[in-house]
Structure formats: C-alpha cells, structure tokens
Amino acid sequence: MGKFLLWAIIILAVLMVSRILNHQKAQARQAAERRQAAQSKAAAEEMVRCAHCQIYLPRSEAYMSRGKTWCCAEHARLGLKQ
C-alpha cells in the first residue's frame, strides 16, 4: 500500500511538471507568434508621404496616382494640377 501511494505521488508530480513545462512552451510560442504578427503588420503598414501636404500615412490608406502618393483625392487632384 505504501509503495502504491509513493508511485501515485510520483506519477502526479511528473504529470504536474509536464503540464507546467507545456504551459511555458505554449506561452513562449504565443509570444513568438505575436511578435511575428506585429512585425509583418509593421511591414505591411509601410508609411508613405502625401506629395501635396507632406503628411505621413499608411500605404494602405494612401491614394496612388502617377507614381506619387497622396493622403486624399483632393490633394491628388491639387498635386496633379501643378
């Protein structure tokens, strides 16, 4: 009976340790994934400058026309007029 209890405690301890290790690994993986996601988002959100008012804005929000970038349709119109 004493031997059985000892083994039960050892098995429980091993299970607990492996659970803690798995949890730490999962956390490290999640942190790495978050870092990667942040990096790829930063790369996707390259900043460009409006050729009219010189304001910086994300490329995804910029207007592109004749090889230049603009912050809005109005500035694209004004800039292309010159």
| Residues of this chain that bind Zn ion (CB under 5 A) | 50, 52-53, 71, 75
Choice between 33 and 45, CB closer to Zn ion: 45
Choice between 48 and 52, CB closer to Zn ion: 52
Question: CA-based Rg of the chain, rounded to a whole angstrom?
Answer: 28
Residue 73: helix, strand or coil by DSSP? helix
Shortest spacing between CB 43 and Zn ion, in angstroms: 24
CA–CA gap between residue 58 and residue 45 (Å, rounded)? 5
Choice between 13 and 63, CB closer to Zn ion: 63
Shortest spacing between CB 66 and Zn ion, in angstroms: 15
Shortest spacing between CB 42 and Zn ion, in angstroms: 23
Query: How far, CA to CA in Å, does 37 sit from each of 23, 32, 55, 59, 82?
Result: 21, 9, 26, 18, 41
